[in-house]
């Protein structure tokens, strides 16, 4: 879908569409014969509405229009923080919860909780003591649990008041929310779960965590906000888990919290606990009556134990299903009762569903592709259910499945309900980029590095060399080279301004297996940068249109760190850099991420010195533009300010763009649009 005015440009379109996320169906859930999802009214409307498709008639039905309920309002601070952790850029209905039968759903709008009766479409506001986040429907559809004011409440449908089950004793305590480390680094965004007629509830106490103050220098009349941030080597939040009955009775689930401080995951009453160094994991099933964990397995790894999506869990027979590092085959393999059941070489990423005879997973046979596979638990046969050589994901129910498939050659994603042999499309109202994205995939160099090159749309091969912009992320947990053309829309726009854009994934990025991931252990700098150089030079050897005398590099977050590192360590290769929200001193970044790769600062000080950009400030000889949101509570603005101070002290010229009121996501339209223009002007100036 495309509905832009003739004066619109790609930067403006990308900003208005929140990176082409608006209008996309998302948040799929399946109950019985129905599929539920969230979608806004167009590719430029931010507010999500709740929709449903029943496979009996295949018709899309609008259940709740967010604009009909509430014109707007302030989000609670806890909800703003939750959305920042989830990188949520939309408004309106952003999440919902169903009962098992799919007859009733609960959701929140601007802090107000609602339920909708799905057969009738009647929507009712729930009683609450204040602004609410994360309402969760009980499986039987009789109660809703939610968090308000850092306390956990429950309301029986039809009652006129909610009941407080757990209330904080002080401002740094919370019940029913995911702690910062769980949400930011372990991909666990929830803190309460229905279980056995009651609730499994996380409690955390942040009072021992150091305070960092997040302020807005452009508005000095506004008081800075305290933010509890566990930097590497410092204290984490104290986390515990409780079973809470609906009458308020609490039973603490006991484990050795000093040895296992991280509550990594919770799936159907199965929890995964991690040691501080993340080299040991304990997996247990909650026994709510005894307040104990039945230990199902213990995992160890010389580097770190991985946390994968959907696992560990148990199937309907109570057998443990997990994804583990099989060292012998260098493969992330699906296991059942500790025995590998997926084939060697197929890198399993996430578990979608576990049945007695088979499991559905997302997995990669090549790192740049991802598919949905059915794993036969008897034979170990893996059957790919989605098209090969693309990037696909899915949501699975008892009988139905929703496939989400991106096109590798042109920007676009399809959403399809699968019911046996039937295929029912779900409409996407997302806009397509104004530009034509034309990715060129290749595998290069001795390490078989995956790359993608974007050329100007009017470029004729052999017509002359072009300046190059390298556009990596380069770090753990994120790939840039994926067979999804839409992922390169911004890179294509940069290319259309007269550049060749090179995207490459090196050691440490996902999809290649455990050994590849662990190649960065103890060093987040040297191999990561080496692989970017090798990929660039290997591509140029076969493509003389890449002018290696004019190479820039750009990136955000870890990519920003890598961009700054590149011009500091390899000015012979990289001639200008734009570093957005870079980590500049890993001792300032959070505990779980940093210590996983570099160890504890007290026992591995050399790893921190080896990877610090501050220590390298005197090496700068190339143009460097630093960009940072001053409201960033993930990579604090102190990273850029400290590097800038060190560069100034060393007499090294550089530029800094501070973004007032901007977080790590930079969701503001004007900021997002003009940052792209700022970057391209910088590269035009310094690369010619």
Calpha distance 333→364 (Å, rounded):
11
For the chain, what are the domain ranges? Answer: 440-687
pLDDT for res 71: 47
Instruction: Give the residue, 111 or 138, on which the prediction is more confident.
Output: 138
Enclosing H/E stretch for 633: none
For residue 91, the SS3 value is: strand
For residue 36, the SS3 value is: strand
Q: Residue 236's closest CA among 185, 285, 191, 279?
A: 185
pLDDT higher than 60, residue 459? yes
Q: Residue 133's closest CA among 88, 180, 77?
A: 77
Q: Taking all residues of the chain, what is their mean pLDDT, rounded to a whole number?
A: 95
pLDDT for res 74: 63
pLDDT of 230-262, one tens digit each?
999 999 999 999 999 999 999 999 999 999 999
pLDDT higher than 50, residue 4? no
Q: Residue 386's closest CA among 398, 395, 376, 397?
A: 395
Calpha distance 287→240 (Å, rounded):
15
Cβ(136)–Cβ(193) below 8 Å: yes
pLDDT for res 539: 98
For residue 437, the SS3 value is: coil
Tell how many helices (H) and how many strands (E) occur in the chain. Answer: 12, 44
pLDDT of 598-607, one tens digit each?
999 999 999 9
The answer, yes or no, to whether the previous bond of 312 is cis (omega within 30 of 0) is yes
Q: Which CATH superfamily is domain 440-687 in?
A: Alpha/Beta hydrolase fold, catalytic domain (3.40.50.1820)
Q: What percent of the chain has pLDDT over 70?
A: 96
For residue 295, the SS3 value is: strand
Instruction: Give the residue, 91 or 660, on which the prediction is more confident.
Output: 660
- Assign 3-class secondary structure to 457-477: CCCCCCCCCEEEEECCCCCCC
Is the overall model pTM greater than 0.85, yes or no?
yes
The contacts of residue 387 (CB under 8 Å, 6+ apart) are 371, 405
pLDDT range class, residue 673, cuts 50, 70, 90: confident
pLDDT range class, residue 688, cuts 50, 70, 90: confident
pLDDT for res 87: 65
The Cα-based distances of 511 to 121, 330, 413, 448, 605 in angstroms read: 43, 12, 21, 13, 30
pLDDT for res 602: 97
Calpha distance 272→270 (Å, rounded):
7
pLDDT higher than 60, residue 422? yes
For residue 605, the SS3 value is: helix
pLDDT higher than 70, residue 3? no
pLDDT range class, residue 86, cuts 50, 70, 90: low
pLDDT range class, residue 124, cuts 50, 70, 90: very high
The Cα-based distances of 654 to 155, 317, 554, 612 in angstroms read: 56, 61, 15, 18
Q: Which two tokens stand for residue 503?
A: 């995207």
pLDDT range class, residue 75, cuts 50, 70, 90: low
Q: Residue 440's closest CA among 500, 509, 399, 355?
A: 500
pLDDT higher than 90, residue 76? no
Calpha distance 10→413 (Å, rounded):
19
Q: Which two tokens stand for residue 321?
A: 């299903």
Q: Which value, to the nearest 10 degrees, does the dihedral of the CA atoms of residues 222, 227, 233, 238 take?
A: 160
pLDDT for res 69: 85
pLDDT of 18-73, one tens digit each?
999 999 999 999 999 999 999 999 999 999 999 999 999 999 999 999 988 864 55
pLDDT higher than 70, residue 329? yes
pLDDT range class, residue 667, cuts 50, 70, 90: low
Enclosing H/E stretch for 37: strand 34-40
User: What is the number of residues in the chain?
Assistant: 688
pLDDT of 133-177, one tens digit each?
999 999 999 999 999 999 999 999 999 999 999 999 999 999 999
Range of lowest pLDDT (82-91, 497-506, 522-531, 567-576): 82-91
Mean pLDDT for the stretch of residues 99-105: 97
Strand partners, 453: 440, 502
Strand partners, 470: 502, 553
- Which position has the token pair 């909708």? 116
548 burial type by CB count under 10 A (0-12 exposed, 13-18 middle, 19+ buried): middle
Q: Residue 370's closest CA among 395, 350, 343, 356?
A: 350
- Which position has the token pair 């484990």? 255
pLDDT higher than 90, residue 670? no
pLDDT higher than 90, residue 668? no
């Amino acid at each position: 879908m495309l509905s832009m005015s003739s004066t619109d440009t790609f930067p403006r379109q990308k900003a208005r569409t929140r990176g082409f996320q608006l209008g996309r169906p998302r948040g799929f859930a399946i109950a019985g014969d129905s599929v539920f999802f969230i979608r806004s009214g167009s590719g430029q409307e931010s507010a999500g509405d709740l929709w449903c498709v029943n496979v009996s008639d295949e018709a899309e039905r609008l259940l709740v229009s967010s604009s009909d309920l509430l014109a707007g309002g302030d989000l609670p601070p806890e909800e703003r923080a939750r959305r920042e952790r989830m990188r949520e850029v939309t408004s309106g209905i952003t999440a919902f919860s169903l009962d098992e039968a799919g007859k009733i759903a609960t959701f929140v709008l601007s802090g107000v909780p609602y339920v909708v009766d799905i057969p009738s479409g009647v929507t009712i506001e729930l009683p609450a003591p204040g602004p609410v986040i994360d309402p969760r429907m009980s499986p039987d559809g009789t109660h809703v649990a939610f968090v308000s004011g850092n306390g956990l409440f429950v309301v029986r449908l039809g009652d006129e008041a909610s009941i407080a089950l757990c209330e904080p004793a002080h401002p740094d305590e919370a019940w029913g929310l995911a702690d910062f480390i769980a949400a930011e680094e372990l991909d666990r965004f929830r803190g309460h779960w229905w279980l056995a007629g009651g609730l499994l509830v996380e409690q955390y106490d942040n009072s021992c965590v150091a305070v960092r103050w997040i302020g807005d220098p452009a508005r000095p009349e506004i008081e800075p906000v305290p933010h509890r941030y566990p930097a590497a080597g410092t204290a984490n939040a104290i986390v515990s888990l409780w079973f809470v009955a609906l009458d308020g009775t609490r039973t603490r689930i006991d484990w050795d919290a000093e040895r296992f401080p991280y509550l990594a995951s919770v799936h159907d009453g199965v929890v995964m606990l991690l040691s501080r160094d993340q080299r040991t994991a304990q997996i247990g099933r909650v026994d709510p009556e005894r307040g104990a964990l039945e230990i199902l397995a213990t995992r160890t790894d010389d580097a770190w134990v991985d946390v994968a999506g959907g696992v560990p869990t148990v199937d309907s027979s109570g057998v443990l299903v997990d994804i583990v590092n099989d060292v012998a085959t260098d493969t992330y393999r699906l296991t059942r009762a500790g025995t590998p059941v997926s084939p060697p070489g197929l890198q399993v990423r996430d578990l979608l569903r576990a049945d007695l005879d088979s499991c559905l997973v997302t997995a990669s046979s090549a790192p740049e592709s991802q598919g949905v596979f059915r794993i036969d638990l008897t034979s170990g046969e893996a059957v790919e259910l989605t098209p090969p050589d693309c990037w696909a994901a899915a949501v699975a129910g008892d009988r139905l499945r929703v496939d989400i498939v991106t096109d590798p050659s042109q920007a676009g994603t399809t959403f399809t309900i699968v019911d046996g042999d039937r295929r029912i499309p779900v409409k996407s109202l997302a806009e397509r980029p104004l530009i034509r994205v034309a990715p060129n995939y290749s595998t290069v160099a001795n390490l078989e590095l995956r790359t993608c090159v974007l050329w100007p749309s009017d470029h004729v091969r052999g017509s002359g060399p072009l300046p190059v912009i390298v556009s990596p992320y380069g770090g753990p947990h994120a790939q840039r080279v994926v067979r999804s053309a839409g992922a390169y829309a911004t890179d294509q726009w940069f290319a259309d301004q007269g550049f060749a854009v090179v995207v490459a994934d090196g050691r440490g990025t996902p999809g290649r297996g455990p050994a590849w991931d662990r190649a960065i252990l103890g060093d987040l700098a040297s191999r990561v940068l080496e692989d970017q150089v090798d990929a660039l030079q290997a591509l140029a050897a076969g493509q003389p249109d890449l002018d290696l005398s004019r190479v820039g590099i750009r990136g955000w977050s870890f990519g920003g760190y890598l961009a700054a590192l590149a011009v500091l360590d390899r000015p012979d290769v990289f001639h200008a850099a734009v570093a957005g929200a870079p980590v500049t001193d890993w001792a300032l970044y959070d505990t779980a991420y940093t210590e996983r790769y570099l160890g504890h600062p007290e026992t591995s000080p050399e790893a921190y010195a080896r990877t610090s950009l501050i220590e390298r400030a005197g090496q700068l000889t190339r143009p460097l533009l630093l960009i940072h949101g001053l409201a960033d509570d993930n990579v604090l603005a102190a990273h850029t300010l400290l590097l800038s101070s060190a560069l100034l002290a060393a007499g090294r010229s550089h530029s800094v763009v501070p973004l007032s009121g901007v977080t790590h996501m930079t969701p503001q339209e004007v900021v997002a649009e003009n940052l792209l223009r700022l970057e391209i002007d910088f590269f035009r100036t310094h690369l010619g």
